[in-house]
């Protein structure tokens, strides 16, 4: 499985931000701008928490397995692969969504004197922060699930994940 590249995620973020900023300007010139939902940063934060908890769980199970603790539960390779795919997909979607909300947030910075627009800018900013948290958790999960480059680096009896 290919590793996530921060440059690709940043490119998606910037492209989505520029396009959504332009779309927000265009949409606002025709009428009212669609609202940034309050649920957006909440959902992204929940995904970040799930990814971080999964990474910490896998890391502790791998550590227990390496140390050959009695009763240590191993890591199923398929479960680790599924977690990794979920993490990578989440990071890509988070880069797109947080870029989109970032562009709308930048557009809304011009009208912070209007209370409703100020609230929307806050929701957009929180969505960007939560999206960055998803990306960070996904990269951490990817690091935890990474196989060693040298097969001899595996502990004797340990299974690759």
Residue 72 sits at φ, ψ, to 5 deg, of -70, 130
Among 9-18, 91-100, 114-123, 125-134, the minimum mean pLDDT is found in 114-123
89 pLDDT above the threshold of 70: yes
Q: What confidence score (pLDDT) does residue 52 get? A: 96
Residue whose token pair is 């960055």? 132
To the nearest 5 percent, what fractions of the chain are helix, strand and coil?
Answer: 75, 0, 25
CB 118 within 8 A of CB 112: yes
In a domain, residue 15? The reply is no
Overall domain count for the chain: 1
Residue whose token pair is 């009896």? 157
Residue 53 sits at φ, ψ, to 5 deg, of -65, -40
**Residue with more model confidence, 94 or 62:** 94
- Domain of 53, in residue numbers: 37-147
Among 64-68, 118-122, 148-152, the minimum mean pLDDT is found in 148-152
């Amino acid at each position: 499985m290919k590793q996530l590249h921060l440059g690709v995620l940043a490119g998606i973020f910037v492209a989505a931000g520029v396009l959504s900023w332009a779309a927000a300007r265009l949409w606002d010139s025709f009428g009212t701008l669609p609202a940034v939902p309050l649920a957006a940063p909440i959902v992204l934060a929940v995904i970040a928490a799930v990814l971080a908890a999964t990474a910490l769980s896998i890391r502790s199970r791998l550590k227990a397995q390496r140390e050959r603790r009695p009763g240590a539960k191993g890591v199923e390779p398929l479960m680790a692969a599924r977690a990794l795919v979920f993490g990578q997909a989440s990071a890509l979607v988070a880069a797109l969504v947080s870029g989109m909300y970032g562009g709308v947030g930048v557009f809304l910075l011009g009208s912070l004197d209007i209370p409703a627009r100020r609230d929307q800018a806050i929701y957009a900013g929180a969505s960007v922060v939560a999206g960055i948290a998803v990306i960070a958790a996904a990269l951490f999960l990817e690091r935890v699930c990474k196989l060693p480059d040298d097969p001899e680096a595996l502990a004797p009896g340990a299974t690759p994940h």
